Structure 1
Amino acid sequence: MPAFSLDPVQRAWCEELRALARDRLAPLAEQGEPGRVNRPLVAALGELGLLKRLFEAGAFELCLLRESLAYACTEAETALALQGLGTSPVVRAGTDAQRARWLPEVTAGRAVAAFALSEPGAGSDAGALALRADRDGDGWRLSGEKCWISNAPEADFYSVFARTCEGAGPRGITAFLVPADRPGLTGSALEMLSPHPIGALAFDGVPVGPEDVLGEPGRGFGVAMDTLNLFRPSVGAFAVGMAQAALDATLAHTERRTAFGGPLKDLQSVAHTAAEMATRTEAARLLVYAAACAYDEGDPEVPRRSAMAKLLATETAQYVVDAAVQAHGAAALRRGHLLEHLYREVRAPRIYEGATEVQRTIVAKELYAARAAATASAARPEAEEAVR
Structure 2
Amino acid sequence: MPAFSLDPERAAWRAELRALAAERLRPLAEKGEPGHVNRPLVAELGHLGLLDRLFTSGALDLCLMRESLAHACTEAETALALQGLGAHPVHAHGTPAQRARWLPAVRTGGAIAAFALTEPGAGSDAAALALSATPDGTARWRLSGSKCWISNAPEADFYTVFARTAPGAGARGVTAFLVPADRPGLAGTALDMLSPHPIGALEFDAVPVTADDLLGEPGRGFGVAMGTLDLFRPSVGAFAVGMAQAALDATIAHTARREAFGGPLSAQQTVAHQVAEMALRTEAARLMVYAAATAYDEGAPDVPLRAAMAKLLATETAQYVVDRAVQLHGARALRRGHPLEHLYREVRAPRIYEGASEIQRGIIARELYRAGAPRTAGEAP
User: TM-score normalised to the size of structure 1?
Assistant: 0.95
Give the equivalent residue in structure 1 for 2:241.
240
Question: Equivalent residue for 2:224?
Answer: 223
- Find the residue that maps to 1:140 and give its secondary structure: strand
Alignment map for 1:233-382 (pairs within 5 Å): 233-371=234-372
The aligned residue for residue 378 of structure 2 is none
The structural deviation recorded for 1:195 is 1.5
Provide the C-alpha distance between the structure 2 equivalents of 1:325 and 1:373, rounded to a whole number of angstroms: 38
1:1-388 matched pairs, under 5 angstroms = 1-138=1-138, 139-371=140-372
**Structure 1, unaligned runs of 5 or more:** 375-388
Structure 1 residues 328, 372: closer, same or farther in 2, change over 3 A? Answer: closer
How much has 1:278 moved relative to structure 2? 0.2
One-letter identity of the residue aligned with 1:304 = L
Contact kept? 2:368, 2:374, Cα under 8 Å:
no
Q: CA deviation at 1:116?
A: 0.1
CA distance in 2, matches of 1:184, 1:2: 50
How many residues in Structure 1 have an aligned counterpart in Structure 2? 374
Deviation at 1:193, TM superposition (A): 1.2
Counterpart of 1:214 in 2: which secondary structure? coil
Q: Which amino acid aligns with 1:216?
A: E
Gapped runs of 5+ residues in structure 2? 376-381
Question: How many Å apart are 1:194 and its aligned residue?
Answer: 2.2
- Do the aligned residues in 1 keep the contact of 2:36 with 2:197 (CA within 8 Å)? yes
Encode CA deviations 1:314-352: one digit per residue, 9 max, x unaligned: 000000000000000000000000000000000000000
- TM-aligned CA deviation for residue 372 of structure 1: 6.6
CA distance in 2, matches of 1:55, 1:346: 26
Amino acid at match of 2:108: A
**1:3/1:290 Cα in 2 relative to 1: closer, same or farther (>3 Å)?**
closer
| Percent of paired sites with the same residue | 78
Provide the rounded CA distance (Å) in 1 between the counterparts of 2:3 and 2:116.
Answer: 36
Match of 1:381 in 2: none
Tell me the distance in 1 between the aligned counterparts of 2:21 and 2:142.
42
1:142-166: CA deviation from partner (whole Å, max 9, x where unpaired): 0000000000000000000000000
**SS of the counterpart of 1:204?**
strand
The CA RMSD over aligned residues, in Å, is 1.1
Q: Is this contact kept in 1: 2:70–2:239, CA < 8 A?
A: yes
Q: Distance in 1 between matches of 2:235 and 2:61?
A: 9
Distance 1:161 1:73 in 2: 31
Do the aligned residues in 1 keep the contact of 2:185 with 2:207 (CA within 8 Å)? Answer: yes
What residue number does 2:379 align with? none
Shift of 1:100: 0.4
Q: Shift of residue 98 of structure 1?
A: 0.3
CA distance in 1, matches of 2:134, 2:308: 33
Please report how far the alpha carbon of residue 2 of structure 1 lies from its aligned counterpart in structure 2 after TM superposition. Answer: 3.5
Residues 52-74 of structure 1: per-residue CA shift (max 9 Å, x gap): 01211100111011100110100
- Cα 1:12–1:299 change in 2 (3 A) is same
Distance 1:264-1:228 versus aligned 2 partners, 3 A rule: same
Deviations 1:89-133 (A, max 9, x none): 001110000000000010011000000000001011000000000
Give the match's secondary structure for 2:168: coil
SS at match of 2:167: coil
Residue identity opposite 1:118 in structure 2: T
Letter in 2 for 1:162: A
Q: Secondary structure at the match of 1:216?
A: coil
Deviation at 1:196, TM superposition (A): 1.7
CA displacement, residues 292-315 of structure 1 (integer Å, 9 cap, x when unaligned): 011011111000000000000000
Q: Distance in 2 between matches of 1:295 and 1:243?
A: 23
Separation in structure 2 between the aligned mates of residue 315 and residue 91 of structure 1, nearest angstrom? 31
**Residue identity opposite 1:41 in structure 2:** L
Residue 3 of structure 1 and its aligned partner are, at CA, apart by: 4.4
Q: Which has the larger radius of gyration?
A: 1
Counterpart for residue 386 of structure 1: none
Between stretches 359-368 and 4-13, larger displacement belongs to 4-13
- State the one-letter code of the partner of 2:242: G
2:75 counterpart letter in structure 1: E
Q: 1:373 to 1:223 in 2, by over 3 A?
A: farther
SS at match of 2:372: helix
Q: Distance in 2 between matches of 1:234 and 1:296?
A: 13
